[in-house]
Chains A and B, each alone.
Chain A
Amino acid sequence: MKRTRGEKIFNWINIALLVALAFLSLYPFIYVFSMSLSTAAEANRDGLHLYPRDISFDAYKAVFTNPAIWIGYVNAIFRTVVGTALTVVVTCLCAYPLSKKHLPGRRPILFAMLITMLFQGGLVPMYLLINGIGLIDSLWVYVLPVLTSAFNIILVKNFFEAIPESLEEAACIDGAGPWRTLFQIYVPLSKPILATVALWTAVMHWNMWFDALLYINDENKLVLQMFLRRIVVENSTQLIEQGLVNPDVTQFTAETIKAATVVVTILPMLALYPFVQRYFVKGIMVGGVKG
């Protein structure tokens, strides 16, 4: 197609704009990487910190010798692995019967699930419930309240509905019960959608911190995000307050240690992101377009 002069100019401006935007998207991450590898003097220098001029691994040494980080890591991995596995299983178990049009009470059940998407009891009733059933300070509080969601179930149910009935009939004739049909026919055929559900769930688990803030008092059961919050967020907030009283204090806490803690938290996700991002895009296309 021939392009006019105006379209060519637009094209170059567009490219420049998008390159700038991509840089802005990455810059905060570049900054923490650079800071985490800087010496204390280098970290205090004015400037963009695109790369460290004086390299030091002291911040990482400090982070890794902090036992709290390891506790946080173990708990975060626990909730991510166990939580994701249970979510996938329970979601399949719900989606399979609901994908059958002849299931009695199918419409009321779907309607009830839809209600949970639109209306929630809120923070306090949830807190009283968790308190009442004794989940305070239990690791299961990370997993059970977010076991599945109406959105996940509907997503998988729709996928199951697209699988031809004849496969199920064939399995039935061969003597397979519903459990075997689900796990040996439906689940293997639904790998793409289940991978999408699993990845979104895993990201959610890795990032969750609010439940730990509310329900966990035991230091040994906190997740990584909570320790990060303490080291980075609460520390900075206190500094802002103190800084007003005495401006010199702002230089006090090692910014490099905060940066290194951030890097340690985001690294697992950053390392996996290039490989799994196509599943996220696919998941949005399936689920997001017609929620």
Chain B
Amino acid sequence: MLLPGAVYFLIFHFLPMGGLVVAFKDYRMTEGIVGSPWAGLDNFRDLFLNEQFPNALRNTLVIAALRLGLGFFAPIILALLLNELRVRWFKRTVQTITYLPFFFSWVILGGIFLMLFSTTGPMNSILATFGIDPIPFLTSGPWFITVLVVTGIWQSIGYGAVIYLAALTGIEVQLYEAAAIDGAGRWKQTRHITLPGLTPVMIVLFILSVGQLLSAGFDQIYNMYNPLVFESTDIIDTYVLRQLQGLDFGVATAAGMFKSVVGLMLIIGTNALANRLSGGEQGLW
């Protein structure tokens, strides 16, 4: 029974890991992976000596830090606000609606946002009614990154909130009752019961998003960026894809490997940190 699964994992997961040797080779199409000559660390040297990759790395870190810094707390706040609602159908409706954008690809969402934020689109026509000149949302680097971060949060806030709401149902009601008897108001209950109750889930989600840090939302960027904001939004993944399309396999593999290895170290490091801070209880493993 395990056979189809085993074959699948060997071919589509472990074989590509072995394929990482291309990063250390001067890869030539005609000679294949085995036949191509070894290149030592040449590909990595090329990677860091050209201007594009360090720039892509910097962009990745900036965009990812903004995403993580702002995007991590947004779903927690939404979950807390939803949790305060007493009317169940209203709570469920808001939850369902805010969750909706998570189910659409960035081809769809990117397409819509390119229309919404264009110079003649509705965002700028709202600004115009307040007498504000059109803002080049899509063509100026800082504005474009703002749009990326905000629409990124917009897409995933409902999904994150559902996870936190699920965790909230696990907090014992007696804790709130006891706190109310002791005279704690809603705010104090949130501060001293709800937030500590959510901490384990926060840590798990934080570790997972740190592991994704270097991806910086490739799907979204690739479907929204244009040559005018290239300089500030070229990230590692877009760089790798471009090298692949330019048939520079060695350098592309080296860049991809750099990303995978750093991602792995980040996730292991964050997990170790979470374990140490909590006395070995709250890490992923």
A118-B240 CB under 8 A given contacts A25-B154, A148-B8: no
Contact A1 B180 (CB under 8 A): yes
Contact B12 A228 (CB under 8 A): no
Partner of A129, one of B11, B105, B264: B11
A128-B108 CB under 8 A given contacts A18-B82, A22-B98: no
User: Which residue on A lies nearest to B159, using beta carbons?
Assistant: A284
**CA of A280 to CA of B225, assembled, Å:** 30
Contact A241 B228 (CB under 8 A): yes
Among A58-66, A91-99, A161-169, which stretch is in contact with chain B? A91-99
Mask: chain B, 82-124; 1 = CB below 8 Å from A; 0 = not:
1011100010011011111101110111111111101110100
| A262 contact set on B, CB distance < 8 A | 108, 111-112
| A21 contact set on B, CB distance < 8 A | 78, 94, 98
Among B52-60, B62-70, B254-262, B273-281, which stretch is in contact with chain A? B254-262
A15 at the interface (CB under 8 A from B): yes
B1 at the interface (CB under 8 A from A): yes
Contact A94 B104 (CB under 8 A): no
Contact B81 A128 (CB under 8 A): no
Partner of B16, one of A48, A90, A93, A120: A120
Partner of A122, one of B119, B128, B257: B257
Partner of B167, one of A109, A118, A122, A289: A289
B residues 194-227 near A (Cβ < 8 Å) are 201, 204, 208, 211, 219, 223-227
| A29 contact set on B, CB distance < 8 A | 100, 112
Contact A25 B2 (CB under 8 A): no
A193 at the interface (CB under 8 A from B): no
Residues of chain A at interface, number, CB under 8 A: 94
**CA of A179 to CA of B16, assembled, Å:** 32
Contact A31 B138 (CB under 8 A): no
A258-B82 CB under 8 A given contacts A48-B122, A112-B9, A125-B16: no
User: Which residue on B lies nearest to A32, using beta carbons?
Assistant: B112
| B17 contact set on A, CB distance < 8 A | 119-121, 125
| A239 contact set on B, CB distance < 8 A | 118
Smallest CB–CB gap between A51 and chain B, Å? 13
A residues 105-144 near B (Cβ < 8 Å) are 109, 112-113, 116, 118-129, 133, 144
| B16 contact set on A, CB distance < 8 A | 120-122, 125-126, 129
User: Which residue on B lies nearest to A178, using beta carbons?
Assistant: B1
| A265 contact set on B, CB distance < 8 A | 108
- Residue from A18, A44, A208, A269 whose CB has the most chain B CB atoms within 10 Å: A18
B4 at the interface (CB under 8 A from A): yes
**CA of A265 to CA of B128, assembled, Å:** 32
Partner of A203, one of B18, B103, B115, B219: B103
Per DSSP, chain A at the interface is helix
A233 at the interface (CB under 8 A from B): yes
A96-B249 CB under 8 A given contacts A22-B97, A120-B16, A125-B20: no
- Residue from A182, A208, A233, A239 whose CB has the most chain B CB atoms within 10 Å: A233
**CA of A128 to CA of B22, assembled, Å:** 10
Contact B93 A93 (CB under 8 A): no
A residues 233-280 near B (Cβ < 8 Å) are 233, 236-237, 239-241, 243-244, 250-251, 255, 258-259, 262, 265-266, 269, 273-274, 277, 280
A93-B2 CB under 8 A given contacts A120-B16, A129-B11, A207-B105: yes
Smallest CB–CB gap between B76 and chain A, Å? 14
Contact B128 A46 (CB under 8 A): yes
A153 at the interface (CB under 8 A from B): yes
Smallest CB–CB gap between B127 and chain A, Å? 11
| B4 contact set on A, CB distance < 8 A | 90, 93-94, 147
A290 at the interface (CB under 8 A from B): yes
Mask: chain B, 175-195; 1 = CB below 8 Å from A; 0 = not:
000001000011000000000
B126 at the interface (CB under 8 A from A): yes
Partner of B244, one of A98, A127, A133: A127
Contact A288 B154 (CB under 8 A): no
**CA of A7 to CA of B12, assembled, Å:** 55
A–B pairs, 25, beta carbons within 8 Å: A4-B185, A14-B84, A32-B115, A46-B120, A47-B125, A93-B4, A116-B13, A120-B16, A120-B260, A121-B16, A121-B19, A123-B244, A124-B244, A125-B253, A125-B256, A147-B4, A148-B5, A233-B110, A241-B227, A250-B119, A250-B120, A258-B111, A273-B100, A284-B159, A284-B162
**A90-B4, A125-B18, A147-B12 known, 7 other contacts, Cβ within 8 Å:** A18-B90, A32-B112, A93-B4, A98-B2, A123-B237, A225-B108, A240-B226
List of 4 A-B pairs having minimum Cβ-Cβ separation, nearest first: A121-B16, A125-B19, A122-B256, A232-B111
